Amino acid sequence: MAEPAVPVVDIAAFLADPSSDAAASVAAAWDAAFREYGIVYLTGHGVPDAATSELASSATTFFSQSEEAKMALCLHQGYGKGGFVPVGVEAVARSRPEGAGSAPDAVENIVFSHAGDPALESVMPSEPPTLQPSVAAYWAAMRALLGQLMQLSAKALGLPGAYFDAAFERPKCNLRLAHYPPMPADADARAPGVLRYGAHTDYTGFTILRPDPEIIGLEAQAADGVWISVPPRPGALIVNAGDLLQVWTNDRWRSAPHRVVNPPPGSAPRPRLSLVFFTGPADDTVVEPLPNCHGPEVPKKYEPVSAREHLLRKLGRSNTDVLKDLKLK
């Protein structure tokens, strides 16, 4: 039996005219994809190729620096707080009860939380000098796309187009540049139990991913529990729904578990780079099932929760005890 394929949703018709019949078809495809898979390939998004290629190039240069240079940008606060996060701090699988005790992930990150307003950004490396403008340009493109995706989502859920505007007027966003160092070709030389990124669900709203265009590894878990490969697709971004979208839709949409698996033994040791834009509503947004996602035959499955409370709880589980040691140095 052929492995199920993650659906492709082309949103160009929606962006051209959200009120058109073609846009309604896009919204229906968006709804169907998140009901069944919780993850889609996004095409027709209008994000300039230059924005992604320039940021990827700058990020590659940044991660090629010495560990000492990168650690100078470590705020010792753990992933989600901005700055450089070395290998061994994050164990994202621990954010789920079934992942308690999982090994730390084989990834290093630099995280930006306020790239749209450099005066608020906690860390902005001076090297390479191309990083700051490329981060700013990519952030602007992602913020514009987020607004369009929330309008599309409102239409897909049968809501007014501006339904999510208030919650996303000041969204909680992070841009994470994720670098997975090369792994030894010999499986026996690899740390036991370590994945590049453990199985988890994302915490809040949509995650917009530009995967490494050459190195596979991303997998998503289908509703039947089967893990399916999500290889890079030319010109496509990958979008998955986070936990708060599942709460908002009362399980109509899936927050799909996903992971980054290790390269097969014998593979040439190569690094992997992803550009990950996490999105969510403003911290003070109270999220509960939407009125049209519950009723007499479909009861509410979730209690109201603030976006901030939910995010802090998940982040607290995924930062390892290594963080405590870092804070002492």
Q: How confident is the model at residue 97 (pLDDT cuts 50, 70, 90)?
A: confident
- Report pLDDT for 328: 33
For residues 162 and 169, give the distance between their C-alpha atoms in angstroms, rounded to a whole number. Answer: 11
> Is 272 one of the annotated active-site residues of the chain?
yes
Tokens of 252: 């109509």
* Nearest to 177, CA basis, from 268, 278, 259, 92: 278
Q: Where does the chain have alpha helices with state H?
A: 12-16, 21-36, 49-63, 67-71, 131-156, 243-248, 307-318, 322-327
Q: How confident is the model at residue 135 (pLDDT cuts 50, 70, 90)?
A: very high
For residues 228 and 242, give the distance between their C-alpha atoms in angstroms, rounded to a whole number. Answer: 18
- Report pLDDT for 267: 86
Tokens of 312: 């802090």
Annotated catalytic residue, options 272, 308, 313, 317: 272
For the chain, give the mean pLDDT. Answer: 90
pLDDT at 283 over 70: yes
* In the chain, % of residues over pLDDT 90: 73
In our burial notation (b when 16+ CB lie closer than 10 A, e otherwise), range 224-256 reads: eeeebebebeeebbbbbbbbbbbbbbbebbbbb
pLDDT at 326 over 80: no
More confident residue, 321 or 101: 101
Name the pTM for this structure. Answer: 0.92
- Report pLDDT for 113: 87
Q: How confident is the model at residue 319 (pLDDT cuts 50, 70, 90)?
A: low
In our burial notation (b when 16+ CB lie closer than 10 A, e otherwise), range 282-300 reads: eeebebebbeebbeeeeee
- Report pLDDT for 75: 76
Separation in Å, CA 169 to CA 36, 47, 135, 164 = 29, 21, 21, 9
Q: How confident is the model at residue 118 (pLDDT cuts 50, 70, 90)?
A: low
- Report pLDDT for 124: 84
List for the chain the helix, strand, coil content (%; round to 5): 35, 20, 50
Residue with token string 């890079």: 232
Domain architecture of the chain: domains with CATH: 8-327 (2.60.120.330)
Q: How many CB atoms are located within 10 Å of the residue 184 CB?
A: 13
In our burial notation (b when 16+ CB lie closer than 10 A, e otherwise), range 72-96 reads: ebbebbbbbbbbbbebbbbbbbbbb
pLDDT in tens, 67-76: 999 999 987 6
- Report pLDDT for 322: 42
pLDDT at 302 over 80: yes
Q: How confident is the model at residue 327 (pLDDT cuts 50, 70, 90)?
A: very low
pLDDT in tens, 150-183: 999 999 999 999 999 999 999 999 999 999 999 9
Q: How many CB atoms are located within 10 Å of the residue 123 CB?
A: 16
- Report pLDDT for 25: 98
- Report pLDDT for 2: 54
